[in-house]
Chains A and B, each alone.
Chain A
Amino acid sequence: MSRFDPRRAGMALVAPAMAFVVAVALSSVVLVVAGHAPMTAFRSMFDFGVQPDNVVNIVNKASGYYLSALAVAIGFRMNLFNIGVDGQYRLAAMCAAVIGAAVALPGPLHILLIVVVAVIVGAIWAGIAGYLKVYRGVSEVISTIMLNYIGTALAAWMLTPAVFATLENNIVKTPDLPESGWFPGFATSGGEVYGFVVVSALVGVGYWFLLGRTRFGFDLRATGMSEPAAVASGVDVKKMVVASMLLSGGVAGLVGLPILLGASHSYGQDFPAGIGFTGIAIALLGRNHPIGIAFASVLWGFLDVSNQILDLEGIPKEIVTIMQGTIVLAVVVAYEVVRRWRVNSEQRRVAAQLGGPQAPAAPGPATTAGVA
């Protein structure tokens, strides 16, 4: 996020490209072993994926993925692992659906209320993990996973007809939002694109601005790069942990809204689950960068949508799951390889530009120095 450096940008692209190539290669091997022609499979996926209605579908899916990955990335930038985005967005969507259906307000206000409720619920659910980490020393990895289960159970309980749900045609769901709470979409030849896509993009811009340009973002990134250095620089790490968990949870609260406000208008048993975990993979692939995450979200959406054609071709669509898994694995390895290579090449470049050997860089352990 510093000023544009073509060399650095080029290297940033090397890793995901490498990972994608490795994933395609490995999936091809699996396809060949299973007796299918890889090129045919990939071509039919591509042809299917670029049909207008599928493009709309991909963009709509990507908008949720994008928010989920941003929520995860906020934690990642600070070395916090918010594994609980899944529980956070489902609980948030549930509460937002219930409250949104219970009130009647003029259009924009109604939507605003639903959004605020979702953000607050997501933030509270993640904030519990932040609080536990700071004041009880509980690893946020453990607590957010646990909170996923509790959140799921809580949402399931709320989704019983005795509590907030209704039973219509054998489907359990919350009452529908009044139309004033629907987020207007964009009509295209392939169907309606969620209007919430715009909100997702704005959150991405906000993420970039907050982390790259503000003092809070600097403190957050400093804490992620080196906690002792951040502490010595005056960062209150406890406050930062709570603040960034609240922020991460708040963004997580938005994850279910593209669907809730744009399509389902209610929270039911078929409300999509697992987007929080997908977000982890996408944040890794997109390198916690708002633009990288955008590309990764679209790629994920494309893979999710286009795999549906494979069954028709007689190819098991699980091949795509293999591909997604390989991408994540390969990207983690590739980033580390590229990172090491970059550090070395930069040291060499600096040394070369300064001419001749320098004094040894002694990242020394604290030993006693010379008594002369």
Chain B
Amino acid sequence: MTESESTPHAAVRLQGITKRFPGVVANHDIDLTVVSGTVHALCGENGAGKSTLMKILYGMQKPDEGTIEVEGRQVAFHSPSDAIAVGIGMVHQHFKLADNFTVLENVILGSEPGSAFGLDLDAARRRILEISDRYGLDVDPDPVVAELGVGDRQRVEILKALYRGARILILDEPTAVLVPQEVDELFAALNELKAEGLTVVFISHKLDEVRKIADAITVIRRGTTVATVDPREVTTRQLAELMVGSELPSPQTTSSTVTDRPVLTVENLTVTDADGRALIDDVSFTIHAGEVLGIAGVEGNGQAELVDAIMGIRASTGRVLLESDDISNESTRHRREAGVAFIPEDRIRQGLLLEAPLWENRVLGHQTTEPNSKGGLIDRRHARADTQRIVADYDVRTPSIDVTASALSGGNQQKLIVGREMSGQPRLLLAAHPTRGVDVGAQAAIWDHLRHARAQGLAVLLISADLDELIGLSDSLRVILRGRLVAQADPATVTPEDLGSAMTGAGARAEGAA
């Protein structure tokens, strides 16, 4: 265990780290020094290169250039077990626990105590309780993990890392899945760890939380470290500017184009999971022609389910009307043919056929309509021509429409999807994170396309984690929390801070608990 010394020394020092993937530089010239016994936050937008950097530090990937020092000694990792051996532990955003094992079994999995022929479970239990006590983790070794809540599982993951001797803990987006009280509990635990001399690397883009917990903040932008700042000397706004750069384009819509003609009416929509728990709970709203309705919320509060239900991908109860037609019981294909366009949240999963050429991806989702097909046959000539149009209009950077979708960068994939979904004059667009992962220039272009379509009378349901985008593009805003629409806001007056607190339930309790 390293004690804090009078002269702070580095637990981790990365110098000149560069990592290239085919056609992509994920990290370049990363410099990062994490002082021992502190909580060091790593901030950056999605796709800025945080995850790649952490994978390098945890031995999951090897850097092409640069050096890694851990507690003063230069190291080279070939696998995570090398990283574990020098005292680095990682808590992944998506927990790696076996649900049908107990906490004890999960913790010892892979480093079982005792001889080859017998497990020494008592020794393991004693150590787990000892670690739990020492760091105030409050972990019970006996319940099955499936019965635990998210916050408990996270503490099990932390304990698992400590059990393997971690002195430096990497937490990847640890608060993304937590409710506010759980966040407070997590922060209490982190302070405990810090007090015991452990070092925490905390990856997040929730700037308020980062400022609350971190002793130092390093900002990553476009694959490189741009600044390391003291949280006491910087505002959230300044941090945001560091993260996105100063050339931040404004998504402001100029004048309202909202009409009084309803395009989408959702009444009492409810979606339940296999256990009957409501994922979307009695949601009702209307979007008019020319209106953008923004849905703000911490991810995982039902946004994906809401969109899936409106698309007809997921079973739901309640009514969905497209203009005056009740489409509640119609198939996804019928809804698409009726003019519902869909930019999915997870483009790799729901939006693309990675192994298919671009022009076939243009056809996807619009198989039954012109120019893609005619009388049951795929109209290759016209589909290809229209793909060329999208590539030109939406600035999809590709040498040809015959390369597979997997060959494109994420931003270009997204531009292709946006172009495809805006084709054929849809009446309603369900857009989940339409500019996620695209570069700033393309982002501005996508916003322009959305604004233009809105002026033509398109109704848009916009889901985004980028609050500036939400506020800038939306004509009205709703906040979703645990599957319910809990608050409304006027984009003309609301600030990202207000919206942020409503999203976590802090501001919503008074307004929308009904």
A residues contacting B by CB (< 8 A) are: 2-3, 5, 213-219, 221-222, 225-226, 228-229, 231-236, 343-344, 346-354, 357-372
Contacts and interface: CB of A to CB of B under 8 A. Distances in A.
A232 B365 contact: yes
B376 A216 contact: yes
B333 A235 contact: yes
A229 B364 CA distance: 8
Interface in B327-380: 331-337, 342, 344-346, 348-357, 360, 363-368, 373, 376-378, 380
Given A362-B46, A371-B207, A344 B22 contact: yes
B205 A370 contact: yes
A260 B413 CA distance: 52
28 contacts: A2-B357, A213-B377, A222-B367, A225-B354, A226-B352, A226-B354, A229-B349, A229-B353, A232-B332, A232-B344, A234-B336, A234-B367, A344-B22, A357-B23, A358-B409, A358-B412, A359-B437, A360-B24, A360-B49, A363-B410, A365-B93, A366-B345, A366-B346, A367-B173, A367-B176, A368-B465, A371-B496, A372-B468
Contact of A353 (B45, B334, B399): B399
A351 B437 contact: no
A231 B402 contact: no
A238 to B, nearest CB: 11
B91 interface: no
A360 B334 CA distance: 36
B403 A367 contact: no
Given A229-B351, A348-B22, A369 B45 contact: yes
B231 interface: no
B146 interface: no
A232 B21 CA distance: 30
A361 B414 CA distance: 10
Interface stretch (B240-248, B259-267, B273-281): B240-248
Interface string B394-413: 00011100111011111111
Given A225-B355, A234-B335, A370-B244, 17 more contacts: A214-B378, A215-B377, A226-B352, A229-B352, A232-B311, A234-B331, A354-B397, A360-B410, A361-B24, A361-B409, A364-B437, A365-B94, A366-B299, A367-B299, A368-B299, A369-B433, A371-B240
A367 B93 contact: yes
A211 B52 CA distance: 39
A343 B406 contact: yes
Nearest to B346: A366
Nearest to B437: A362
Which 6 A-B residue pairs are closest in the complex by CB-CB distance? A351-B23, A234-B333, A370-B45, A233-B365, A362-B47, A369-B465
Contacts of A234: 331-337, 365, 367-368
B27 to A, nearest CB: 9
A359 B396 CA distance: 12
Given A350-B408, A371-B496, A372-B244, A360 B25 contact: yes
Contacts of A349: 399, 403, 407
Given A225-B356, A359-B438, A360-B24, A214 B465 contact: no
B449 interface: no
B76 interface: no
Given A215-B378, A359-B411, A361-B24, A368 B368 contact: no
A106 B20 CA distance: 71
Contacts of A366: 299, 304, 345-346
A360 B223 CA distance: 8
Contact of A348 (B23, B46, B176, B500): B23
Contacts of A371: 205-207, 240, 465-467, 496, 500
Given A360-B410, A372-B244, A215 B437 contact: no
B464 interface: yes
B511 interface: no
A77 to B, nearest CB: 12
B148 interface: no
B496 to A, nearest CB: 7
B466 A370 contact: yes
A367 B345 CA distance: 10
Contacts of A221: 356
Interface in B227-247: 240-241, 243-244
Contacts of A213: 377-378, 380
A353 to B, nearest CB: 4
Given A226-B352, A347-B23, A360-B409, A214 B438 contact: no
A368 B301 CA distance: 12
B313 interface: yes
Contacts of A365: 93-94, 346
Contacts of A363: 348, 410
A43 to B, nearest CB: 41
B310 to A, nearest CB: 12
Nearest to B173: A367
B275 to A, nearest CB: 18
Nearest to A357: B25
B26 interface: yes
B298 interface: yes
A217 to B, nearest CB: 8
A364 B349 contact: no
Contacts of A232: 311, 313, 332, 342, 344, 350-351, 365
Contacts of A369: 45-46, 205, 433, 436, 464-466
A364 B205 CA distance: 15
Contacts of A353: 399
Interface string B174-201: 0010000000000000000000000000
A104 B236 CA distance: 88
Contacts of B248: 372
Contacts of A222: 353, 356, 364, 367
Interface string B427-439: 0000001001111
A351 to B, nearest CB: 3
A220 B363 CA distance: 13
Contact of B22 (A229, A236, A347, A370): A347
B467 A346 contact: no
B406 A236 contact: no
Contacts of A370: 44-46, 205, 240, 243-244, 465-466
A361 B348 CA distance: 11
A365 B299 CA distance: 12
A359 B409 contact: yes
Contacts of B346: 365-366
A350 B380 CA distance: 23
B410 A361 contact: yes
Contacts of B410: 359-364
Nearest to B307: A232
Interface in B36-90: 44-47, 49, 52
B378 A218 contact: yes
Contacts of B367: 215, 218-219, 222, 233-235
B63 to A, nearest CB: 15
A351 B47 CA distance: 18
A233 B410 CA distance: 20
A236 B399 CA distance: 33
Contact of B173 (A219, A225, A368): A368
Contact of B399 (A214, A216, A233, A354): A354
A229 B313 CA distance: 11
A213 B373 CA distance: 10
Interface string B269-308: 0000000000000000000000000000011000010000
B429 to A, nearest CB: 14
Interface string B4-26: 00000000000000001111111
Nearest to B239: A372
